[in-house]
Copies of this chain bind each other. A is one copy, B any other.
Amino acid sequence: MAGAYVAGRATADAATPSAADGARSSSYAFRGERQAGIVTPAQDRLHFAAFDVVTDSRDDLVALLQAWTTAAEQMTAGEPAGNGAVDGDVNLPPDDTGEALDLPASGLTITFGFGPTLFRDADGKDRFGLADRQPASLRELPHFPGDLLDPERSGGDLCIQACADDPQVAVHAVRNLARIGFGTVSVRWSQLGFGRTSTTSTSQSTPRNLFGFKDGTANVKAEEADALDQHVWVGSGDDDAAAWLVGGSYLVARRINMNIEIWDRQPLGDQESFIGRTKGTGAPLSGGEEMTEPDFSMPGSNDQPVIPVDSHVRVVHPDTNGGVRMLRRGYNFVDGSNALGGLDAGLFFIAYVRDPDTHFIPVQLVMSKTDALAEYLKFTGSALFAVPPGTGPGEHVGQALFA
């Protein structure tokens, strides 16, 4: 990335300091029919940020989205943010903060979303003349059993999901977008994720969460066009008030603390019963391989099914939930330690769904009431965003919302 930023200053040989991370040269176009970062093969690392808009000016908000669009297009191409005005001009602040100058694009995607409070504030006030375009399903999520939400880790007017195979590239993207937004937005909360827990393409193998189990085996994948239309992309007849969202999606973010110290002291058999899969291969307890469909009717001991009725795989399975599926894109996190002498660790859950009212809220309600895992989880953050469709040539992010 050194070229455009420090032309005449940088040496030609800007070697990457992350040699061990190998092939990170992939890049994804920012503009397109859909926003990148949803069905894009899930990158290894995440920096997610939610923002409060601190201006009353609709023009300033639109100008920010224009500036963010320009910078996002540059950074996802592996270029620094900015227009070249920093080339040696020592009298101006640099247009790019510099920490990714020597790094390739690293598969960076930047995905933008709009929170319910962008449309109406807590008092119902129409902040930016957008209230009549607020999607009916875009409102604060209800309280779920197990929620112990920290307001400082919840909500937000805008969000940015930056995924990359190098965490420094993801952090650089969020940091520069926050810098560009100075005076218009402020960071409400931000979350790093060090390890992906989802597979969004059949080309990827299944990673493990901090319970040590494979996660996301049955995820909706990029190759399933029909399932994406049915479960992920907002359809043209879904919400007449929100035509601008057609082709987009809803992003559900949930910070889930895992009580890993207690979990680690449970017998292997109990862990597997809670999940409904074996720890080694991830095969369902009814047998087969990881990708084998679970057989919920297979009898086990004591007249109980071999896959317990309160096992996670069963409680959240489409067969138990009217057929609904989500595209999950979560990440493991460790944010230091907790007051109990353990790690502040868990899963930063991200799901993309066509409609949270049908595809998330009912599943979460069932899960938080009946899932055997619930005992080991505490929900400490929550947010919902409408994710507009992709940005066409010459457009800015979410342009149809403001048209």
Q: Which residues from 283 to 309 on chain A have a C-beta closer than 8 Å to any C-beta of chain B?
A: 289-290
**Residues of B contacting A107 in the complex (Cβ-Cβ under 8 angstroms):** 20
- Give residues in A with beta carbon < 8 Å to B: 2, 5-6, 9-11, 15-24, 26, 43-45, 47, 49, 52, 54, 86, 89-94, 96-102, 106-107, 153, 165, 167-168, 171, 174-175, 178-179, 182, 186-192, 194-196, 199, 204-213, 260-261, 264-272, 278-281, 289-290, 332, 334-337, 340-343, 345
Interchain CA distance A367-B106 in the complex, whole Å: 36
Q: Is the interface of A mostly helix, strand, loop or mixed?
A: loop
Is there contact, CB below 8 Å, between B171 and A267? no
17 interchain pairs, CB-CB under 8 A: A10-B280, A11-B290, A17-B199, A20-B107, A22-B23, A93-B268, A98-B279, A99-B212, A168-B332, A171-B334, A178-B343, A190-B334, A190-B337, A191-B336, A192-B192, A192-B335, A194-B194
Contact A17 to B205, CB < 8 A, known contacts A45-B194, A267-B91, A268-B92: yes
In the bound complex, do residue B23 and residue A20 qualify as a contact, i.e. CB atoms below 8 Å apart? yes
| With A205-B102, A267-B91 as contacts: A171 and B194 at CB distance below 8 Å | yes
CB-CB under 8 A from A268, the residues of chain B are 86, 89-94
Please indicate the chain B residues that have their CB under 8 angstroms from the CB of A281 in the complex.
6, 9-11
Across the interface, name the chain B residue whose C-beta is closest to A18: B44
User: B17, B44, B267: which contacts A90 (Cβ < 8 A)?
Assistant: B267
CA distance A254 to B134 in the complex (A): 47
